[in-house]
Structures are given as C-alpha cells and as structure tokens.
Amino acid sequence: MDTSVDQQDIPSVSDDPAQDGAAPAGETSRGVREVLVVAHPRRPFVRDSAQRVLDQLTAAGIRPRVLGDEAGQLDLSCAAVVDADAGAAAGVELVLVLGGDGSLLRGADLARSADAPLLGVNLGHIGFLAEAESEDIDDTVAAVIARDYTVEERMTLDVTIRKGQELLGRNWALNEMALEKGQPGKLLDVVVEIEGRPLSRWSCDGAVCATPTGSTAYAFSAGGPVVWPSVEALLVVPLSAHALFARPLVVGPDVMVAFEVLGKEKAVLSCDGRRPSDVLPGSRVEVTRGAHPVRLARVRPNPFTDRLVAKFELPVEGWRGRSRPDR
C-alpha cells in the first residue's frame, strides 16, 4: 500500500510573509507566486474551465503548475509541468482543484504533503468538499489572486496495518478508511476495538471509520450521522452487520479504533476510495487521529448548515427565523 508522506521531509509553507525574512507563501525567491492547478481536463467543459483559470492566473502574474498526466489537453505556454508525486505542490501558495470530490481527494494528497491550502471548485456532482460551484469560478480565482481567503484545518486519519509484531503498511485519509469484504457473497468477520478494549464482533460487509469531514460521504450512505466539521471526533459505521449491537458510533478524537480480521476471508482496505490494499486474516487495522491535518481554503465562510441545505436540496420553505430581537 502507499506510504503516507512524512511531513517533516517536506519544506513547510509559512503563513507569515515576514517570518525570518522569507518570501510570502507560494512566492519564489524571485517574487513569483505559484499555484498548483489540479483537474481532469478530458471533458470539454473541464478543459475549458481549466484553461481559463490558467490564463487568469498568468495574467495576474501568478505562475500555475500543472500535473504531467493532465498537461496534454492544455495550453501550457505559461505553466510549469510537474510530476504527479508528493513534491508536486512543494512551495506553492495554494492547490486549486477543478472537479468533483474525487479530484479534491487527489488534490488533498498533494496539498497535505506540502502543507499547502486546498481550494476546490465543483465541476462534478455533489462536490461536498468543494468551496465553490462552477458558476463561481471567476470570482474564486479573483479571490485567490487577491489572497482574499481564510484557511481552516480539517482532521485526518492515520491508518496502520499490523500482523502480530509486524508492521505491514501505513495510510491516511481525509474522509474515511473503509475495510470491506474481499470476496462477493462472503461475509467479513471482525472484532471492533475501542479504547483498547473489544466492543463487538461483527459478521458484515465491512466497516467505515470516518472524520467529521467524511461524515457526508461513505459513512452517510451507510447510515451514519452528519457531524459538523468543527466537531473533533471519529465515526465508526458498520456495513450491513449481522450482530445484536451494530449501530454507528461517535467516539473521541484521541481514541484508537481497531479492527481485527478473523475467519478465513481477506478484507480490502481503502482510504478515501483510493490506495486499496489487501488485509489478510489475522491482521489488525488501527485508526487514529491524523498527525497532519488538511488545510482547506475558504472564500465564502458560510455556515455548514447552508452547505447541507444546498447540497442535499433540503426543504426549508416557510422558515422565518427569530421573530423578535434579544432583550
């Protein structure tokens, strides 16, 4: 499985332009600001949007970076092409993602490795992680150019696979870790551990451990609660478990959640729907609060409630709000 990048191996970007006499974040020693633009420019609409963003950044004196596997569809006369690896965003001011949640999660990998803020424009479907919609793309780029945005930190997960005393792999997630059955028609047999103690044994399709950010993703589809991003907690949600006690759980942010795989069936572990890895019987998956958060850039600090209403098209007709002022 992929090994998550050690933060200390990546030069961090200072939020204070004056710190130690350094250039502002994302600005080279020659005074050129840089932004990594991540997109999948295979659809004409996405390609045209990405090209417009590149042109706007360039016109403002900002040098865009583009991933090598996305560069073939774009005019790169004013952009730098970089490899799609952990160093792609090193030293940039911002990672700007154009696409849906899948693209945002790919961008989160790159942004977290470089401790750079991540800002998404939704060109997909729901796009819960995106800060803006497609019709707001010009205003969003204008905010980036003016540095008119704030940055908030989102919890992540650190995921470790062990078998006995042997460390088999490490991973990380912004949304969730999913442990799922490896064979169709077969149930996965796991023991769930919370706070170092066994909680229950589930015969199930799998289990999800999610952050509050991921509570509206896979965990939500599996029946878990929506948790506001400002809450610090871990969610544990069983997938179609055959057990007397198989309810979604919300536990403290500093608690270790572990799953021990029993029986004869292997499991498949994925983080944010990516980086799959086999987990063999007798192995143990440990999930803890991530040591390194993902930094999300915000250009519209609207309440999370508004985002829920907009994304899920919730009925709020008839709401009047407070009918009288505070006394």
HSE on the CB side for 247, CA within 13 Å?
5
How many Å from the N-terminal Cα to the C-terminal Cα in the chain? Answer: 59
Query: Among 3.50.50.60, 3.30.530.20, 3.10.105.10, 2.60.200.30, what is the CATH number of 157-289?
Result: 2.60.200.30
Sequence letter at residue 268:
V
- For the chain, give every residue range classified as CATH 2.60.200.30: 157-289
- For the chain, give every residue range classified as CATH 3.40.50.10330: 7-154
| CA-to-CA dists, residue 226 to 234, 252, 281, 294, angstroms | 12, 16, 32, 19
Active site residue 278: no
Which residues in the chain land under pLDDT 50? 1-23, 29
Q: Which two tokens stand for residue 50?
A: 């990405």
| Nearest by Cα to 262 from 181, 197, 166 | 181
Rounded to the nearest angstrom, the gap between the alpha carbon of residue 262 and the centroid of all alpha carbons in its chain is: 30
Residues contacting residue 107 through CB under 8 Å, at least 6 positions apart: 36, 38, 95, 97, 118, 120
- What is the three-class DSSP state of 140? helix
Answer yes or no: are the C-beta atoms of 319 and 325 closer than 8 Å. no
Distance CA(272)–CA(270), nearest Å, equals: 6
Distance CA(52)–CA(44), nearest Å, equals: 12
Q: What is the DSSP letter of 323?
A: S
Q: Classify burial at 84, counting beta carbons within 10 Å of its beta carbon; exposed 0-12, middle 13-18, buried 19 or more.
A: middle
Q: Classify burial at 49, counting beta carbons within 10 Å of its beta carbon; exposed 0-12, middle 13-18, buried 19 or more.
A: buried
Give me the catalytic one of 55, 75, 101, 306.
Answer: 101
Stretch (H or E) spanning 51 = helix 44-59
- Return the pLDDT at 302: 86
Q: Domain 7-154: give its CATH code.
A: 3.40.50.10330
Sequence letter at residue 102:
G
- Return the pLDDT at 12: 32
- Return the pLDDT at 1: 41
Distance CA(133)–CA(120), nearest Å, equals: 9
| CA-to-CA dists, residue 108 to 36, 120, 211, 241, 294, angstroms | 12, 10, 14, 31, 7
Q: What is the DSSP letter of 27?
A: B
Helices and strands in the chain: count of H runs, count of E runs: 5, 20
| Nearest by Cα to 175 from 211, 220, 229, 130 | 211
- Return the pLDDT at 128: 85
- Return the pLDDT at 26: 63
**Sign (positive or negative) of CA dihedral 131, 134, 136, 137:** positive
Distance CA(125)–CA(217), nearest Å, equals: 13
- Return the pLDDT at 300: 84
| CA-to-CA dists, residue 199 to 30, 174, 259, 279, angstroms | 57, 25, 10, 20
